[in-house]
Amino acid sequence: MRITVKHQVLLAPATVLLLLTLLLGFMHYTYWDLSVKRREAKAIGTTVVALAEADMAARRLHVIIRTFQYTGVASAEDMALSTDLYDRLLSAIERVEPFGPLKGSADIDHLYQLASGLNPASAPEEERTAEVFAKFRAHLSSLSNITQIARNQLRHSQSQDITQMVQRTALVSIIVLGLAILFGLVLSIYFSRRILGRIQMISDSAGRIASGELELPPAPDHIRDELDALALSINRMTKRLINVVGTEKLLEGAEEERRRIAMDLHDQSLADLSGVLRGLQSLSAKSQDNETTRSVMTLEQDLNRAISNLRDIMNNLHPQTLDILGLGAAIEAHLDRHCCNDELPEYHFYIDPRVTVLKLERLHQLALYRILIEAIQNVIKHAAASRYEVNLEVREKILVLSVEDNGSGFSQDNRSSNGRGLNNIRERARAIGAEVVWRDSRFSSGTRFELTLPLP
């Protein structure tokens, strides 16, 4: 399965970000382990201070209790001081935090039990007080030794851990950053070459098409990514362009053949008929018989009519005015000759002066002329209009040819029909790169036909 272009572009930075995320996770884990040891060191420090405070409070409390036992007299101030010292002793023991070897042991609970034996409110005996104090001091000293040993070990271990952590973090960071840069470069180069290679192939195909080499570029069998879709679109576009060019060449060949036929008719058939007409006219001048003269005159009229029809045929095959005077003059000549009739709809013809200076190709002029003649014939035959307008103008590098009538119009179904006239208009417009459209007229009724041709 091919990776899409979007994912190929994102793969390299995504890989770099993934490696950097793993590096951050590793650094967080390393600092978390160090923070655990820091919390343990803080707990040891708090325990050291608490044990020292408990030792000081226990010593002063023992002195006061011994004084009570020796004198047998206890003042109110001494009783308040002894109570305060006992509370301080218990408060100091409460601040002892279990760490390392103290976790899960009964040493702190045992220290509470021994401290309860020093409560001045219980009026302990002298021997009992000395024994409890000795045990309390011994147990307190043992806890202090354990705490101090653990503190020294942790301090040494923490120093080594910090050094190792810095070294390990620096080493891992360098390795991960190096791998991230390496993987990013490798993936970027690999996928960029693949993408640029395929883009270059598509660009070469488009360049060949633009230069006139209408060869079908290779099309992918399946659409796997955006470039496959682009290649398939160019392939389809080339097929349509080949069809358009083929149609253009076919029309060009047809127009060239029509022009050749018109020239042959002019040079041969029309010349022969003109010779026959001159012979008849000479015969009519020499004849003395009235009946023969009338017959000859009838033949002359028929021959003139045949010559006129032949000239119309030649003009329809290839309008000579178009080659001599240009598109505007050819259209105006056609309107004057075929549309100036009382029985036909009234027309108005407007031509932009800028059209006369346009250097349109002969095939474009012929196509525009044929399209306009067909559009005018559609108005005369099917629109039932009393008036129509023919306009030929230039709008912002676009040649616009329009025929607009006030007739009955026709429905959208008829506009999309496959009639020969409409199909001829569409095919001729497509052959020269023009667009045609039929819409509602600006009159109260009727249809507007419009052709737009981009100018070079």
Q: Which pLDDT tens digit goes with each residue over 181-231?
A: 888 888 888 878 877 777 788 788 777 777 767 677 777 777 777 777 778
Mean pLDDT of 11-23: 82
Lowest mean pLDDT: which of 13-27, 92-106, 149-163, 333-347?
Answer: 149-163
Whether the pLDDT of residue 311 is over 50: the answer is yes
Does the pLDDT at position 288 exceed 70?
no
Between CA 430 and CA 293 the distance in angstroms is 56
Query: DSSP 3-state assignment of 429?
Result: helix
Q: Rounded to 5, what percent of the chain is helix, strand, coil? A: 75, 10, 20
- 423, 380 contact by CB (below 8 A): no
Tell me how far apart the alpha carbons of residues 126 and 139 are, in angstroms, rounded to a whole number. 20
Residue 336: partners with Cβ closer than 8 Å, 6 or more residues away? none
Tell me the average pLDDT across 429-446: 89
pLDDT at residue 413, rounded to an integer: 52
Interatomic CA distance for residues 311 and 168, integer angstroms: 102
3-state SS, residue 166: helix
CA distance 15 to 434: 51
Higher pLDDT, 154 or 172: 172
Residues 6+ apart with CB under 8 A from 139: 107, 110, 111, 114
Beta-bridge mates of residue 392 = 351, 401
Name the more confident of 37 and 353: 353
| CA torsion through residues 259, 260, 263, 264, sign | negative
| Mean pLDDT (the chain, rounded) | 78
pLDDT for position 416 = 46
At residue 244, the pLDDT reads 65
Ranking 44-53, 165-174, 226-235, 309-318 by mean pLDDT, the lowest is 309-318
Among 40-44, 99-103, 179-183, whose mean pLDDT is lowest? Answer: 99-103
Asked if pLDDT for residue 309 goes beyond 80, the answer is no
Show the 3-state SS of 395-432: CCCEEEEEEEECCCCCCHHHHCCCCHHHHHHHHHHHHC
DSSP 84: H
